[in-house]
Amino acid sequence: MDRSTALQLAQQLQTGKITPDELADQVCQPRSAQLAQTTIDLDRARRCGYPEVVFGEGKSVEMLTEIFQRQCAEQIEVLATRVDADKAAQLAKQFPQAHYNTIGRTFRITASETPTPRTGKVAVVTAGTSDLPVAEEAAETLDWMGVATNRLSDVGVAGPHRLVERLDELCDAQAVVVVAGMEGALPSVVGGYLAVPVIAVPTQVGYGASFGGLAALLGMLNSCAANVAVVNIDAGFKAGYLAGLIAAQTAGAAP
Amino acid sequence: MDRSTALQLAQQLQTGKITPDELADQVCQPRSAQLAQTTIDLDRARRCGYPEVVFGEGKSVEMLTEIFQRQCAEQIEVLATRVDADKAAQLAKQFPQAHYNTIGRTFRITASETPTPRTGKVAVVTAGTSDLPVAEEAAETLDWMGVATNRLSDVGVAGPHRLVERLDELCDAQAVVVVAGMEGALPSVVGGYLAVPVIAVPTQVGYGASFGGLAALLGMLNSCAANVAVVNIDAGFKAGYLAGLIAAQTAGAAP
Amino acid sequence: MDRSTALQLAQQLQTGKITPDELADQVCQPRSAQLAQTTIDLDRARRCGYPEVVFGEGKSVEMLTEIFQRQCAEQIEVLATRVDADKAAQLAKQFPQAHYNTIGRTFRITASETPTPRTGKVAVVTAGTSDLPVAEEAAETLDWMGVATNRLSDVGVAGPHRLVERLDELCDAQAVVVVAGMEGALPSVVGGYLAVPVIAVPTQVGYGASFGGLAALLGMLNSCAANVAVVNIDAGFKAGYLAGLIAAQTAGAAP
Amino acid sequence: MDRSTALQLAQQLQTGKITPDELADQVCQPRSAQLAQTTIDLDRARRCGYPEVVFGEGKSVEMLTEIFQRQCAEQIEVLATRVDADKAAQLAKQFPQAHYNTIGRTFRITASETPTPRTGKVAVVTAGTSDLPVAEEAAETLDWMGVATNRLSDVGVAGPHRLVERLDELCDAQAVVVVAGMEGALPSVVGGYLAVPVIAVPTQVGYGASFGGLAALLGMLNSCAANVAVVNIDAGFKAGYLAGLIAAQTAGAAP
Amino acid sequence: MDRSTALQLAQQLQTGKITPDELADQVCQPRSAQLAQTTIDLDRARRCGYPEVVFGEGKSVEMLTEIFQRQCAEQIEVLATRVDADKAAQLAKQFPQAHYNTIGRTFRITASETPTPRTGKVAVVTAGTSDLPVAEEAAETLDWMGVATNRLSDVGVAGPHRLVERLDELCDAQAVVVVAGMEGALPSVVGGYLAVPVIAVPTQVGYGASFGGLAALLGMLNSCAANVAVVNIDAGFKAGYLAGLIAAQTAGAAP
Amino acid sequence: MDRSTALQLAQQLQTGKITPDELADQVCQPRSAQLAQTTIDLDRARRCGYPEVVFGEGKSVEMLTEIFQRQCAEQIEVLATRVDADKAAQLAKQFPQAHYNTIGRTFRITASETPTPRTGKVAVVTAGTSDLPVAEEAAETLDWMGVATNRLSDVGVAGPHRLVERLDELCDAQAVVVVAGMEGALPSVVGGYLAVPVIAVPTQVGYGASFGGLAALLGMLNSCAANVAVVNIDAGFKAGYLAGLIAAQTAGAAP
Amino acid sequence: MDRSTALQLAQQLQTGKITPDELADQVCQPRSAQLAQTTIDLDRARRCGYPEVVFGEGKSVEMLTEIFQRQCAEQIEVLATRVDADKAAQLAKQFPQAHYNTIGRTFRITASETPTPRTGKVAVVTAGTSDLPVAEEAAETLDWMGVATNRLSDVGVAGPHRLVERLDELCDAQAVVVVAGMEGALPSVVGGYLAVPVIAVPTQVGYGASFGGLAALLGMLNSCAANVAVVNIDAGFKAGYLAGLIAAQTAGAAP
Amino acid sequence: MDRSTALQLAQQLQTGKITPDELADQVCQPRSAQLAQTTIDLDRARRCGYPEVVFGEGKSVEMLTEIFQRQCAEQIEVLATRVDADKAAQLAKQFPQAHYNTIGRTFRITASETPTPRTGKVAVVTAGTSDLPVAEEAAETLDWMGVATNRLSDVGVAGPHRLVERLDELCDAQAVVVVAGMEGALPSVVGGYLAVPVIAVPTQVGYGASFGGLAALLGMLNSCAANVAVVNIDAGFKAGYLAGLIAAQTAGAAP
């Protein structure tokens, strides 16, 4: 709490506008909900612009159900990542209005019936078809944020003209997500052609010495293109989130 | 070259507006300059919004002089990184109008006399004082881009209130650069409080098992905060560049 | 054997209080039991304060049965870790009085019927719900040691206020166990608020570049908080044991 | 700030015992000092029991002087680690009452003239003589905390009786620091003989495949002794601090 | 497009030999085909001498079917690698003329009925029988390129005479592929006997510290034989391709 | 072939004792057998003292059958390692006289009916029961070599007296195999008590940061005991073989 | 020695054409020279096509002098790599006809006065100017082999058109050496445009997470271009040698 | 102490042959000497056959002097490793009878004037001349143990005949030390020709991806030759010691 707010509260108390209890509540207001085994951050949208996204891996259907119910009750747009098909099938029975992306493994429950208008635009580029699951996770995240997306698939550097032929489609994006495994060279090449931030996502796709995506990760971190930032291996969600944040605030639509 | 441009050129030729030579030049225009031992990218500003930045490490004073002279002749604002003090002293004799940042080891030569007006704002945050050289490289890059900066030094997580006390100063930035060594936890904490992109830079600062910045790098890549992207160890330039790109385009000033 | 004990035995022998055989037994007393394929340390409680804990992984039901029977015969409180559900079901038939923790995968057989009185208090904190199995292993170990525990779940740094809201609950603990995956930043933050030792346990929870918990491990080892010690990845037992040792000896109840 | 404190302040304000300004100050009290290039944590002793310790590496003599002057003014006992001999010589001119440990490279300035009485006891054990600098850093930290220390040098496992001969000296310590390079086996052996926490510190001492202490670090993390916790490579300070914390609170002298 | 071609086109247009549309087509001719989820490089054979080879891993039977149909339509000889037995069985129903190598897991569809004449010769050498799947992938690739192969199996360095006995068989090859796991020493020994390029392929075969082929990979990269180049772990396709390229161009048959 | 042998052959030819063909055979005698997919080293026993041992992993039942038949025909004592239970069951039908060790996964076929007399003695020591499979592989290898073995199980350093109590049993061995996972400290301790070579085998047993045996491997390589040599992770066969070689040649029984 | 040669020798002996001593010499002919501390391979050119190249690192001036004198006496063209400037200056006094490349650190002594005619052509491409020393080592090796070279410097992927503009210059090479640090993406891009083998050399150039060239090495090993083989970090000599071997044999000039 | 010894002592005491003090001394006899900063193991020769060897790295001249003086007083043959030239020069003034090996950096002081007779024989083989320092450390250790050595230098696998030509010289050794950097293939090849144990020592010699000897280390650990054991990188002392132990006990001369 900043000092001016605290001073204001003190003056309101002094002038009888609020009670001591109200002041104490303001100073120490609850901003999270403790469920049976999880603690939800209800303050996330206020602080960070978007509500908490649920990491589905390692959570039981019971835990997820409890979390989703509470988030729905709070009018929060639900997005959960890394939900496998089995769990999704069980959850779908409880939340029939939900949408499950079978490739990207995301689970969403929309609060309002009218779709959010799109503001900002992000291109999601993949080097090969094996990178699609990660790209879909990014694209779903962007859609959840209300950001328009354009997918360019399978334009890796082994056929350099494939990207060049489609550069036009990248020119109206405010940020680009590039998903690649193997040597992870595509973000450098994309970055060399563009004037917007490139969020690079390494994937585990590749032969032996890709070491679970390490090769692509190091390649992207060492990119000689200045406009390339990197997220974790297979972290489609985070790449989509960052690109969406940039696109939305550039388009003047950031929360 | 996109097809519509090519078609347009063909029609201009047909109607006698351009000669075959002019068409050929357009299709194959030279966009780089080959100097004695280096090749300068003269097309960078058109493609990427900002001219090429020179990586000073491993280049001799002769190479740097030749590059700077050509860039000056092309009216390019010169920024070179990783220029050690000895080289800088020699270069300063040739370019008396240059500015050398002794902590950040950047070397700049300004083309115009009137300073560029500031558009956009970026906060540059460090965990400890040993992270300053990397932060200065970022800040100089931002200044070269015409983006305003605000420095917050030495606010690492061991004293968590140090950051909280200064959160106000972060609230008008369109992007934040966070520089940290050791466990690299500061970007996660900063990211947890903010609604703008955080560009995290790991540094080599730390005891033995930091393994030259690897610990901080992995920490930042695994950040549980969704708005944290990562660049290479000690890559102050790249962090500054990315944050500047975001801030400038958000402020409506991107090239 | 220290010299004063040896001298005392020699004098007892000289004065006829003990026989040569008794002296030899004392000097070379058996302190372990060799079973069919294992060797149990019967001297552990005397040396280390608590009896041997059985590492269940890689041991057959036959081996475990044999060990438990011998430990029960010696009035040792049985605690086995890493016992999977299948083995536990088979063992439960032989030891109906046993207690199996399905999340933490610990198997316990209590020697006495009256519960040990609690002395000392340890808080067990997790960053996310996926860290629960490791935390449960720690909590069961503490319970077995007779130390009271307080569990705080899902208070990771992405929502920094979740921890701050519950700092009160940490203030009466003599030691804190913090379990976290991903970047492993939570122990640093907890450590920055407290005056007691923090035992940090990295987990394998996370995206690709967590590399099986390596990222969290390095993060915790490089913690800038001075009161953070680290144990092996997923080593809930060891963290609980160390915290319990500290709490018990602080509370004056160490064996 | 916890709710009961806030409520109390509100009531004090209501009854005129404090002014709005005083309430605001309490809620937002300054707890750090911003110097020219560093930010000191003045609240550390209140939160963590001991004041901030200065990490000397990468800080200039000017920075250190400024920090020490402010700490002295605040009546804080100064302890700085990783201060090399050159810096120490320059600092000694400004702080003639300071003590510099040439092996451990610690720099201390004592606030009061009467030495602090010793409470609690820690043994500092080294495997070989090359581990001494790290052990000295630990011992100085313990002395600064007011904890008595007992040094056992050069008792590594290649000569297993060397430790056994001196086990007596370990028996009255409330915690033990074990410093070892190479395979880092000594903490396991020490841990196997004792009922108190062992804080293990890996060092860089060793032939090629010690990989800068990595071998010892992994060895200690994988220790089969349950009472062994680990800190960073060469982190004598942190090991001393943790052991001191345990010893002091066991001896009833924790702040 | 090089300048002389562009100039020529312009002159053809000027003299009415081509239309503006034809010029635009030439400048921007489509060289890839966008299928439902993949983008095929149709220009590969022109640029690189051989058509695109399909990486089967991570692609569904639907994707592969669509790709193969298009390649067949373009008269491209189909070669797909890493196609597991299940997928191959399904694909075989659609492409009855296809050939599946069960050990090497390659899937081929031949465009013409008359076999390509063999030009150039490559020896494919394995250290042990466990290396066969990788060697078969290499041999199939060579066969697809129209290069003759000679297989030498199980001639690793533990029995050094096994290789020496068969050196004659290596003497007419223009390039040699050596496949080895464990310490990967065979390429060095083969290289020491020959005057042609050796393409070394590390495999995952081995005990624990082979670390998934890392040991063999590092061994081959550090080979003291000057004529040894290395490809990725298990990358039989790439080794075969490179050796085939060398053999074909030496034999005067390179495309 | 050494020069004196060649000279002798030449003289035998000159004096008509041998024909040119016989000389050529001697100079180039076949020493290996090429089976369908494998090449057996028939010269191994002459060069190395013991015949070739078959690495079972990655070989089909057909390959193994073919190899065993040929070895039996050559009167070679068959030893195959890493043969899983399924393969063993199938092979047992073809070789009913064979012996399969279910823990150590070794498969043996004895050529002669009278057991080889034992010469030399080796102790096989394990730290924990989970290390038994590796120890059994070593022990079977020693038995195959005709070397007597003594097994000491479960004497790891967490209970240091367990080893000390049984030191007597180690004193008549000419070499000791020590098998350990986790921190791998046992070989150092054993080595510190003995005057014979210790062959250390790291295993994959352990919690997360054992990294598949890497921790134990590095620990053993860095052992401060001078008489400790190391073999690959889980390499029971190689440890047994080396220890057997040493014991046999010390006992004067080396081939 | 192959059987037909041995048979022939035997027949020559039988018919009195050679003596027993001559046969023995042929069978066991000396092919190396033992100098004071080194052993030179005099048979290398016969086996491998080119004489032995001297690795200068770690050899004293005395050792190098002795080796060079012997090689000159044998009419061998001397090439030594990794000779630092100090050693070169001392060696130049003894071998005034030698040539030292100050950037590539190669030392050569030419046996004949007339330059070898050039056969075959190799392009040596670098990503940045900091990669020049490695490229020069490659170029000198090619020159020593009698292969023509074409250098393209500073055409890395951050400015993708720089390479495209100069593709023409690559089209007559029979092999291409590509030298790159950082993410090592250039070989993939070059490989995607060409139909000849590409030998990729990673360098240590880069920011922190290049980890001494590891990032570039992994990138190149994982290249999605099929015609890219890799050599050791900074191994300019080996890359030049391999490319030269390929070019020479393609041009029909291989020894 | 074993039980029979203890019983014997007790009976001696009972019969008055020894006093209680003597019994206590026997049971707890001092076996180490505590000097100013080091603890010498005086019992080593009794337990391990050879006295303690001093690791010179990280020890001051004062420490070394004190240790050597005590060892000389105890009639121990002094061997110290890793003593740099500066220290050696200072130590030589105090111990004029000492011998310093400038390549191997060993420092020895011989107790008796008559040289120990040689028993047992070990061959010390190096791959290249840069491996000599490590080989010399091994050879000096063997000489100190009274074992005869035979040096074979520079016989690495790039010139495979160099080793074959000298196999005769290896045939009378009871153990072989093989020192190699780069890919570390030489021990496998040597092992493939011999029936005695091979102790392999990896060195740091090599280009970039040798990673300080890691490549050679992994290569040797993964050796397909069964008689190869490995020691630490650059650990010439340990390799010599192990080989000497084997040779001495085989020759019947082991202590």
Query: Which fold would CATH assign to domain C121-250?
Result: Rossmann fold (3.40.50)
SS3 assignment, position A172: coil
In contact, D184 and D206? CB cutoff 8 Å: no
Q: In Å, how far is A45's CA from the nearest CA of chain B?
A: 9
Average pLDDT, chain G: 89
- Residues E175-191 have a mean pLDDT of 94
Which residue, among D222, D223, D233, would best test binding to F if mutated, counting the most F CBs under 10 Å from its CB? Answer: D222
Residue A227 has a pLDDT of: 96
Q: Tell me: the pLDDT tens digits for G60-106? A: 999 999 999 999 998 899 999 999 999 999 999 999 999 999 999 99
Q: In Å, how far is E171's CA from the nearest CA of chain A?
A: 31
In the 3-class helix/strand/coil scheme, how is A106-156 assigned residue by residue? EEEECCCCCCCCCCCEEEEEECCHHHHHHHHHHHHHHHHHCCEEEEECCCC
C-alpha distance across the termini of chain D, in Å:
20
Residue C11 has a pLDDT of: 84
- The rounded percent of chain F whose pLDDT value lies above 70 is 95
Residue B1 has a pLDDT of: 54
Radius of gyration, alpha carbons of chain B? 21
Distance CA C218, CA C200 (A): 11
Which residue, among H170, H188, H194, would best test binding to E if mutated, counting the most E CBs under 10 Å from its CB? Answer: H188
Residues of G in contact with H209 (CB under 8 A): 213-214, 217, 232-233
Q: Which residue of F lies nearest to H233 if distances are taken between CA atoms?
A: F221
Query: Of residues G72 and B158, which shows the higher confidence score?
Result: G72
- Residues A84-106 have a mean pLDDT of 96
Q: Tell me: the pLDDT tens digits for B38-83? A: 888 888 888 888 999 999 998 999 999 999 999 999 889 999 999 9
Model confidence band, residue E182 (pLDDT cutoffs 50, 70, 90) = very high
Model confidence band, residue A102 (pLDDT cutoffs 50, 70, 90) = very high
Q: Tell me: the pLDDT tens digits for B100-142? A: 999 999 999 987 777 677 789 999 999 988 899 999 999 999 9
Q: CB-side exposure of H245: number of CA atoms within 13 Å?
A: 31
Other Cβ atoms within 10 Å of C100 Cβ, number = 19
Nearest to B223 by CA among B194, B253, B197, B200: B200
Does A136 have pLDDT greater than 80?
A: yes
- The rounded percent of chain A whose pLDDT value lies above 70 is 95
Whether ipTM exceeds 0.90: no
| Tokens 């040098």, residue located | D153
Distance CA B114, CA B93 (A): 23
Residue E71: strand pairing partners:
none
Residue F29 has a pLDDT of: 58
Average pLDDT, chain C: 89
Average pLDDT, chain H: 89
Say whether F59 and E208 touch across the interface (CB within 8 A): no
Residue A30 has a pLDDT of: 55
- Residues C138-144 have a mean pLDDT of 97
DSSP code of residue E37: S
Model confidence band, residue D55 (pLDDT cutoffs 50, 70, 90) = very high
Say whether D24 and A6 touch across the interface (CB within 8 A): yes
Query: Of residues E231 and A168, which shows the higher confidence score?
Result: E231
Out of A135-149, G85-99, H30-44, least confident range: H30-44
Distance CA C206, CA G78 (A): 55
Residue E28 has a pLDDT of: 61
Query: Of residues A78 and G40, which shows the higher confidence score?
Result: A78
In contact, B120 and B92? CB cutoff 8 Å: no
Q: Which residue of B lies nearest to E1 if distances are taken between CA atoms?
A: B28
Residue E184 has a pLDDT of: 93
Q: Residue C164 contacts by C-beta under 8 Å, 6 or more apart in sequence?
A: none
Count of residues for chain G?
255
Nearest to A203 by CA among A230, A227, A228, A229: A230
The residue type of C190 is: V
How far apart, in Å, are the Cα atoms of F1 and each of G29, H12, H173, H194? 11, 65, 19, 14
Chain F touches chain A, with at least 3 Cβ pairs below 8 Å, answer: no
The residue type of E23 is: L
Distance CA E217, CA E204 (A): 9
Nearest to G205 by CA among G171, G228, G179: G179
Nearest to A117 by CA among A249, A248, A250: A248
Q: Which residue of E lies nearest to H221 if distances are taken between CA atoms?
A: E209
Residues of D in contact with H204 (CB under 8 A): 208
Does H235 have pLDDT greater than 90?
A: yes
- Residues E113-136 have a mean pLDDT of 88
Q: Tell me: the pLDDT tens digits for D161-209? A: 778 878 888 888 999 999 999 999 999 999 988 999 999 999 999 888 8
* Lateral strand order in the sheet of A99-101: A54-55, A78-81, A106-109, A99-101
C-alpha distance across the termini of chain A, in Å:
21
Q: In Å, how far is D121's CA from the nearest CA of chain H?
A: 21
Distance CA H131, CA D212 (A): 22
Among H132, H165, H209, beta carbon nearest to G32: H165
Residue A159 has a pLDDT of: 74
Model confidence band, residue C58 (pLDDT cutoffs 50, 70, 90) = confident
Model confidence band, residue G29 (pLDDT cutoffs 50, 70, 90) = low
Q: Residue G96 contacts by C-beta under 8 Å, 6 or more apart in sequence?
A: none
Model confidence band, residue F178 (pLDDT cutoffs 50, 70, 90) = very high
Phi, psi of F193 (to 5 degrees): -100, -10
Distance CA C189, CA C64 (A): 40
Other Cβ atoms within 10 Å of C84 Cβ, number = 11
Model confidence band, residue H32 (pLDDT cutoffs 50, 70, 90) = confident
| Residue ranges of chain D whose CB lies within 8 Å of a chain A CB | 1-3, 6-7, 10-11, 13-14, 20-21, 23-24, 27-28
Does H2 have pLDDT greater than 70?
A: no
Say whether B162 and D204 touch across the interface (CB within 8 A): no
- The rounded percent of chain H whose pLDDT value lies above 90 is 60
Tokens representing F163 are 């080893």
Domain boundaries, chain A: 13-109, 121-250
Does G218 have pLDDT greater than 70?
A: yes
Model confidence band, residue H152 (pLDDT cutoffs 50, 70, 90) = very high
Residue C252 has a pLDDT of: 83
Nearest to H254 by CA among H184, H187, H175: H175
Query: Of residues B24 and G39, which shows the higher confidence score?
Result: G39
Residue A8 has a pLDDT of: 82
Radius of gyration, alpha carbons of chain D? 21
Nearest to C231 by CA among D236, F212, F210: F210
- The rounded percent of chain F whose pLDDT value lies above 90 is 61
Say whether B24 and E10 touch across the interface (CB within 8 A): yes
Q: Residue F146 contacts by C-beta under 8 Å, 6 or more apart in sequence?
A: F116, F117, F118, F119, F248, F253
**pTM value?**
0.89
In contact, D231 and F224? CB cutoff 8 Å: no
DSSP code of residue E118: P
Which residue, among D55, D63, D87, would best test binding to B if mutated, counting the most B CBs under 10 Å from its CB? Answer: D55
Distance CA F159, CA F49 (A): 39
Among G11, G20, G27, beta carbon nearest to F14: G20
Residues of D in contact with A24 (CB under 8 A): 3, 6-7, 10
- Residues D78-100 have a mean pLDDT of 96
Residue C35 has a pLDDT of: 85
Which residue, among H46, H47, H48, would best test binding to F if mutated, counting the most F CBs under 10 Å from its CB? Answer: H48
Distance CA A124, CA A178 (A): 6
Residue C131 has a pLDDT of: 94
Count of residues for chain E?
255
Residues of D in contact with H37 (CB under 8 A): 129, 132, 153-154
Strand H148-152 versus strand H121-126 pairing type: parallel
Q: In Å, how far is C237's CA from the nearest CA of chain A?
A: 20
Residues of B in contact with G162 (CB under 8 A): 31-32, 39, 41
Say whether D7 and A13 touch across the interface (CB within 8 A): no
Distance CA B176, CA F248 (A): 69
Q: DSSP secondary structure string, chain H?
A: --HHHHHHHHHHHHTTSS-HHHHHHHHT---EEE-SS-EEETTHHHHHSSPPPEE-TT--HHHHHHHHHHHHHTTPPEEEES--HHHHHHHHHH-TT-EEETTTTEEEE-SSSSPPPP-SEEEEEESSGGGHHHHHHHHHHHHHHT-EEEEE-S--TTSHHHHHTTGGGGTT-SEEEEEE-TT--HHHHHHHH-SS-EEEEE-S-SSGGGGGGHHHHHHHHT-SSTTEEE--TT-HHHHHHHHHHHHHHHTT---
Other Cβ atoms within 10 Å of G35 Cβ, number = 16
Alpha helices for chain D (secondary structure H): 3-14, 20-27, 44-48, 61-73, 85-94, 132-145, 160-164, 186-193, 214-221, 236-250
| Residue ranges of chain D whose CB lies within 8 Å of a chain H CB | 128-130, 132, 153-155, 158-159, 161-162, 165, 205-211
Residue-wise over E211-237: b if at least 16 C-beta within 10 A, else e?
bbbbbbbbbbbbbbbbbbbbbbbbbbb
How far apart, in Å, are the Cα atoms of D228 and each of C243, D175, F119, H173? 11, 11, 43, 45
Count of D-H CB contacts under 8 Å: 63
Q: In Å, how far is E236's CA from the nearest CA of chain H?
A: 21
